[in-house]
Amino acid sequence: MPKIRLEGLVKRFGTVEVLHSIDLTMAENEFTVLVGPSGCGKSTTLRMLAGLDTLSAGEIYIDEKPVSHLEPKDRDLAMVFQDYALYPHMNVARNMSFALRLQKRPKDEIDTKVRDVAKMLGLTEFLNRKPGELSGGQRQRVAMGRALTRDSSTFLFDEPLSNLDAKLRGQMRAELALMRQRVKKNMVYVTHDQIEAMTLADKIVVMRGGYIQQEGSPEELFKRPANKFVAGFLGSPPMNFLDVTLEEGADGFFARGDGFRIALGAELAERARRKGQSEFVMGIRPSDLNYDAQAPDDAAMDLRVSISEYIGAQSVLICKCGEATVTVEIKSETPIALGDVLRFAVRMEGVHLFDKTTEEAL
Amino acid sequence: MNRQSLNRLTPYFFMAPAAVIMAIALFYPLLYMMFGSFRAWDPSQRLNETDFVGLANYTKLLRDEAFLESVTVTLTFAGTVVVAEMLIGVGLALLLDRKIRGMSVLRTLFILPMMIAPVVVGLVWRFMYHPTDGIFNRWLSALGLGRVDWLGDHALMSVIIADIWQWTPFIFILSLAALQSLPRTALEAARIDGATGWQQIVHIKLPLMAPVLIVTFLLRLIDAFKVLEVILVMTEGGPGLSTEILALRIARTAQEFRELGEAAAMSNYLLLLLMVLTLGMFAFTRWQEARAQRLNAVKQEEG
């Protein structure tokens, strides 16, 4: 299976440049997820890789061979579309076998292949139905099946789950993850949903405004976001951001904000000190704040609960800390009342500092 | 009559005026014609003065070589023009279904022939086909080729060409509209699945356009059977009977031969033929609607 390399990819629509020199390498058999808000260029990147959109500049290499001049059919890839893009006049079996039939493969081989894939996706009983007679989830599966029958080296997914309702989406996401384990292929997956990105990806590429913000494993991006955007985009509920001032005390450095003063780890403090400035943005994830009335002053925040969102075992509290709003997650059985001021311990490793102007992480 | 049944009758009150006009303008003449077709009827006679002759008019027509020739001409004409127009119209649409600068101007130019009155089309083509002064023969002579006796030896072909020129745009416009409403992503999926341009047309575009194409085909066919003005102006059915289509034959039988009963019987044959085509079209739309309904039912089941 080849690796895919994008080099200086640029896309202009008229005079508007929507992709600014994208460089990206995807290793063999890697599940790469391009994620970002709408308009960030992720779908355009995928369509250029598929050969559906032309490049304005740059080159795409598959297995070190430039492919930008090739037609989609000569790039050895399969694609799953957001609206499934099934052929409405063909039944499920014919939809799935279309590519193989075009290649004039022997009929037996096609039949076996279609039946295998249909079995794997639970489509066997629908093989004679037309797409119009299927539900959204079944159509989604057929689209997946059509890509799988192809046996191509690379799979492209363009927001394949976004037309499904929440429950079905979760189910299909799990099935995709399962399929991922069975099918060892290059996969490039575009989504705006950070949960899909986190659960499926070997590598996440976060994009914004036609630039790559950061790439790396889900854990890497979650733990060490390169900037405030990535930090805020990944994770749910999203990270809290608070304005802080760097303060030197007797026993180290502190981040002082409106109503709290938190001791910084030695390493982070050193990086902040070297910046030579004192105003920063502190980021802390809701899961890094733990309800603990006994926490020491320099590792805790006192928050006034203004809204409690019950979501089952966990509740999300939206609290006030001075003027700022802070979200925390707690176990639902914790006895709290709206208006209470509660003390939350801050997990030291969970504290991130960002430059106030460049928004880069320290 | 209570209030409820009055309510139920309301729509019929509103439809009544239209129904009356239909009855006077359509059904009365139609029934008159059917009645007349069973009688030996001269234009100087009133219908109630004529003699009943049973199916004589109909059976006579079946043995009338001129009539049978006319049927053959009509079938040849309609079949040829509609097939040619479908091929050219759909082909043009497939070629021009892309972003081209000035496409809207081009489209308007393409449909111009359709907007010209048939009589004018007939006159224009008659001049163009003129043996000595017509543009075709002038070109042919200029190129050193022999002249062609367009409206003489090749009259049927010539009127067929004129009709194709006038009505291909109709099919082109409808096909283009059908093409542009096809699901874009299905075509993209086909490209990725490895379909060449030609395979996309054969396996995806044409099958998806089929419902529109079938209706267009039938509409054009029905129209082609009724064509009159263009041929009347160009050849008056001649030379001999070579371009005498049914509509023309009916007009001549009534006016020149003064055989109203026979003309009525002829009209009925044509009507029957068109009826079969119309019913075919109707059945097709019904079948399509039933299919759409079935699909909807499935969707609703899922909620």
* Cα–Cα dist B180/B177, whole Å: 5
pLDDT, position A1: 45
DSSP, collapsed to helix, strand or coil, labels residue A280 as: strand
Give the residue from A233, A250, A278 where a domain finishes: A233
Question: What does the alpha-carbon distance between residue B228 and residue B245 come to, in Å, rounded to a whole number?
Answer: 8
Contacts of B185 in chain A (CB under 8 A): 81-85
Please report the pLDDT score of residue B302 as a whole number.
Answer: 54
Structure tokens at A17: 């440049």
Q: Crossing angle for the helix pair B65-96 and B103-115, nearest 10 degrees?
A: 170
Under 8 Å CB pairs connecting chains A and B tally to: 70
Burial A34-45 (b: 16+ CB within 10 A, else e): bbbeeebbbbbb
**Interchain contact, A103 vs B192, CB within 8 Å:** no
Residue A73 at interface with chain B, using a CB cutoff of 8 Å: yes
The sheet carrying A289-291 orders its strands as A289-291, A341-346, A300-310, A314-321, A324-331
Q: Specify which residues A77 forms β-bridges with.
A: A154
pLDDT value for A180: 83
Kindly list the distances between the CA atom of residue B224 and the CA atoms of A258, A351, B271, in Å, as whole numbers in the listed order: 85, 81, 13
Chain A: nearest CA to B288, how far in angstroms?
13
Domain containing residue A348: CATH number: 2.40.50.140
Chain-centroid distance, C-alpha A234: 7
Q: Quote the minimal CA–CA distance from A119 to chain B in Å.
A: 21
Say if residue B272 is exposed, middle or buried (CB neighbours under 10 Å; 0-12, 13-18, 19+).
exposed
Question: In chain A, which residue's Cα lies nearest the Cα of B200?
Answer: A102
The answer to whether residues A214 and A276 belong to one domain is: no
User: Would you say A118 and A54 are in contact if contact means Cβ atoms under 8 Å apart?
Assistant: no
Note down pLDDT in tens along chain A; length 362 residues: 468 999 999 999 888 999 998 999 998 888 999 999 988 989 999 999 999 998 999 999 988 889 989 988 888 889 999 888 999 889 899 999 999 999 999 999 999 999 988 988 888 888 888 888 888 888 988 998 999 888 888 899 999 888 888 888 888 888 888 888 888 888 999 999 888 899 899 999 999 999 999 999 999 999 999 999 999 999 888 999 999 999 888 888 889 888 888 988 888 888 888 888 889 999 999 999 998 888 888 888 999 999 988 888 888 999 998 888 999 998 888 888 888 888 999 998 889 999 988 889 98
* Within a domain: A74: yes
Q: Mutate which of B193, B200, B203, B294 to disrupt the A interface (most A C-beta within 10 Å)? A: B193
| Banded pLDDT at B298 (limits 50, 70, 90) | low
Q: Which of A73, A89, A136 sits opposite B207 (nearest CB)?
A: A89
- Whether residue A114 lies inside any domain: the answer is yes
- The alpha carbon of residue B102 is apart from the nearest alpha carbon of chain A, in Å, by 18
In a domain, B229, yes or no: yes
Contacts of A77 in chain B (CB under 8 A): 192
Q: Do A85 and B183 touch (CB under 8 A)?
A: yes
A105 in contact with chain B, both atoms CB, cutoff 8 A? no
Chain A residue closest in CA terms to B298? A133
Q: Which DSSP string corresponds to A45-106?
A: HHHHHHTSS--SEEEEEETTEE-TTS-GGGG-EEEE-TT----TTS-HHHHHHHHHHHTT--
- DSSP designation for A295: -
Nearest-CA distance A334 → chain B (Å): 39
Could you tell me if A179 and A283 lie in one domain? no
B interface residues, A as partner, C-beta within 8 Å: 183, 185-186, 188-196, 199, 203-204, 207-208, 210, 294-295, 298, 302
Q: Which of A41-55, A139-153, B35-49, B128-142 has the lowest mean pLDDT?
A: B35-49
Domain that holds residue B79: 43-292
Contact B186 A86 (CB under 8 A): yes
Query: Which residues, 6 or more positions from B84, have their beta carbon under 8 angstroms from its beta carbon?
Result: B160, B164, B168
Same domain, A273 and A334: yes
> What's the complex ipTM?
0.81
3-state class of B303 per DSSP? coil
- Indicate if the alpha-carbon torsion angle A321, A325, A327, A332 is positive or negative: positive
For residue A238, the cross-strand partners are none
Q: Work out how many domains chain A is built from and give that number.
A: 2
- pLDDT at position B273, please? 87
Are A345 and A281 found together in one domain? yes
Contact present, A97 and A113 (Cβ < 8 Å):
yes
Q: Please answer yes or no on whether A102 and B194 come within 8 Å at the CB atom.
A: yes
Nearest CA in chain A to B209: A89
Does B36 reside within a domain? no
Q: Read off the DSSP letter of residue B150.
A: T
B33 in any annotated domain: no
Does residue B299 fall inside a structural domain?
no
- Both A92 and A155 in one domain: the answer is yes
- Residue pair A342/A305 in contact by the 8 Å Cβ criterion: yes
Chain A CB contacts of B298 below 8 Å: 132-133
Task: Give the pLDDT confidence of B2-26 residue by residue, as tens digits.
Answer: 788 888 888 899 999 999 999 999 8
For residue B214, being part of any structural domain is answered with yes
In a domain, A134, yes or no: yes
Whether residue A258 sits in one domain with residue A227: no
Q: Considering the domain boundaries, does residue B8 fall inside one?
A: no
Query: Which of A50, A82, A133 has its CB closest to that of B295?
Result: A133
DSSP E strand stretches across chain B = 39-40, 51-52
CATH code for the domain of A38: 3.40.50.300
**Beta-carbon count within 10 A of A221 CB:** 27
Domain tally for chain B?
1
* Residues A131, A113 share a domain: yes
DSSP B204: I
Q: Is the dihedral of CA A335, A340, A345, A349 positive or negative?
A: positive
Is residue B22 in some structural domain?
no
Q: Which residue has the tokens 């079949």?
A: B79
**Residue pointed to by tokens 């009347």:** B232
Contact assignment for A99 to B194 by CB distance below 8 Å: yes
Using CA coordinates, name the residue in chain A closest to B183: A85
Q: In this structure, are A182 and A310 located in the same domain?
A: no
Residues A208 and A285 in one domain: no
Percent of chain B residues topping a pLDDT of 90: 23
- Does the pLDDT value for residue B300 go beyond 80? no
In this structure, is residue A133 part of a structural domain?
Answer: yes
Q: What are phi and psi of A15, to 5 degrees?
A: -95, -5
Q: Specify whether A117 is located in the same domain as A252.
A: no
Task: Give the number of C-alpha atoms closer than 13 A to the C-alpha of residue A43, restricted to the C-beta side.
Answer: 11
Q: Name chain B contacts of A83, Cβ cutoff 8 Å.
A: 183, 185
CB-CB contact of A281 with A358 (8 Å) = no
Domain with B274 in it: what CATH number? Answer: 1.10.3720.10
User: Mutate which of B181, B184, B192 to test chain A, going by most A C-beta atoms within 10 A?
Assistant: B192
Within-domain flag for B158: yes
Domain boundary among A209, A233, A257: A233
Task: Check: CB of residue A60 under 8 Å from CB of residue A4.
Answer: yes
Which residues constitute the domain of residue A43? 4-233
- Whether A334 is covered by a domain: the verdict is yes
On whether both A52 and A168 belong to a single domain, the answer is yes
Residue A110 sits in the same domain as residue A165: yes
Tell me, yes or no, if A77 comes closer than 8 A to chain B by beta carbon: yes
